[in-house]
Amino acid sequence: MTSDSFLRSRPFPSHRNSMNMFRLVFAAMVLFAHSWFTAGQGTGPGFRGENLGGWAVAGFFVLSGFLITGSRISHNAGEFLVHRVARIFPAFLVCLAITAFVFAPVALYAQHHSLSGYFSTPSTPLNYIWSNAGLHMDNYGIGQSLDTVPYKDAWDGSLWTLYYEFLCYLIIWVLGGLLVFRRSIVPMIVLWALSVLNYAGLGLAQRLGLNQDYLLLSRLLPYFLGGSIAYFVIRRWGISPVIGIVSALAAAACICFIPGFGGQASAPFLAYALIWLSTLIPQPAFIARNDISYGFYIYAWPMQQLVAVFGGASHGMWLYWAITAVLTTAFATASWFLVERPVLRLVKRSRVVVPASPVVEQSAIAGQSHGGAVGPAPAAPAEQ
C-alpha cells in the first residue's frame, strides 16, 4: 500500500470483500463460546463482562446494520421485505423441522433406547415447530430428548437472536421510507445515540417492569444502528485506511474504558473498522461464492447437543469443538445449497430490477453471497 493510497478514500468494493468469511468467523466464535455451556463447563471465555459469543453477536449486528441499510436504500419497501423474509425464514423453519424430526428422535433413542411417547410428551415436536415458527423462541425443548446432557432441554439456544435481528430489519424498513433518513446521516446518528442512552439507563426500564424483549432489543439495537451509520459514512465519503485504523482504536477505547455500555458506544467505530478490514483480508473462493455462515449459526447448537448425547463432550473441549465444527459445516453447506441459495435465486428472478447500491445486499447473521449478518447476542438462554 502506497502512502497515497493509504491517505485516499475509495468506494466500498461490494463484490471484493470478505464479509462472508467474517460472518463465518463470528459464527465459529459463537460455537466455540457455546461449547462451555453445552459441555457443562461454565460460561467460557469473556471480556469486559461479556461472553465471547456476545462479542461475536456484536460483530454480526454491526455488519448487518451496514448491509441491511444499503439494501433498504436501494430497494423499495416491498422488495426489501420479501427478500428479508426469504433470507431468514425458509432455512430457519427447515432447521426447526430437522431438529424436531431427526435430531431429537435420534437423541431420545440414544438415551432411552425407545421412542415411546415422543409425539405426545410435552413439549411435543409439532409444538416445538409451531411455537417457534414466528422467530420468537418460546420453546427450546422437545419431550425428554435432552434430559441426560449437561445443558438440558434446549435444542437450539442460538436461534433467539434472529427475532431481534428481524426487528432491526423492520426498523430500517420503516426508516428507509422517510426522506429525512435517506438524505442525511444526522437522524441516524441521533437515533443511535438515543439507543445507547436507553441501554445505559436500562436499570430504569427494569424497575418499570419492561419485559425481556425490550431489554434484549435495547442491548442489540445500538450495534445495528452503528452499522447503519457506517453505511452512510462510507456511501458519502468512501472507505479510508486512516479512518479504519482510527475507528479500530476508538472502538477498543470505548470497549475498554466505558463501563457497562462500552460495546454499544463503540458500534459505529467497530462497524467501520470491520468493513475496512473486510476489504484488505482475502477470503477463500468457495466462501466468496457460498455464504454458509447462517447455516453454521443455526445448526451449531443442535450439533453440540447431539455430540454431547453420544458422550463427545467428555473427551476434552478441543476435540468436542472440532467434532461439532465439522458436523456443523456439513449441515451448513447442505442448508446453503438445498434451501438458502435456491430460495434466494427464486426471489431474485421474480423481483423488479432497481438501481444498484454501493453495498451488496446481504445480512450479517443471515447474509447473501454476491446477491446474498447477525444473528447472534449472548448466544445462549443462560446468557440473557
**Which position has the grid cell 424483549?**
213
Q: Which domain holds residue 27?
A: 19-39+51-383
Give the pLDDT mean for 162-171: 98
Alpha-helix residue ranges (DSSP H) falling in 39-76:
52-74
Residue 46 lies in a domain: no
**Is residue 5 domain-resident?**
no
In a domain, 12, yes or no: no
* Count: domains in the chain: 1
Using only the alpha carbons of the chain, give its radius of gyration. 21
CA distance 160 to 145: 20
Q: What is the pTM of this model?
A: 0.89
Query: In the structure grid, which three cell numbers stand for residue 131, read together?
Result: 411455537
What pLDDT digit, counting tens, does each position of 50-63 carry?
899 999 999 999 99
Res. 360 pLDDT band, cuts 50 70 90: very low
| 304 found inside a domain | yes
Q: With 80 as the cut, is the pLDDT of residue 378 above it?
A: no
> Is residue 29 situated within a structural domain?
yes
**Residue 44 domain flag:** no
At residue 197 the predicted structure's pLDDT band, cuts being 50, 70 and 90, is very high
Quickly state the pLDDT bin for 2 (edges 50, 70, 90): low
- Look at residue 6 and tell me if it is in a domain: no
Compute the 3-state secondary structure of the chain and give helix, strand, coil in percent, each to the nearest 5.
65, 0, 30
What one-letter code names the amino acid at 330? Answer: A
Is 10 contained in some domain?
no
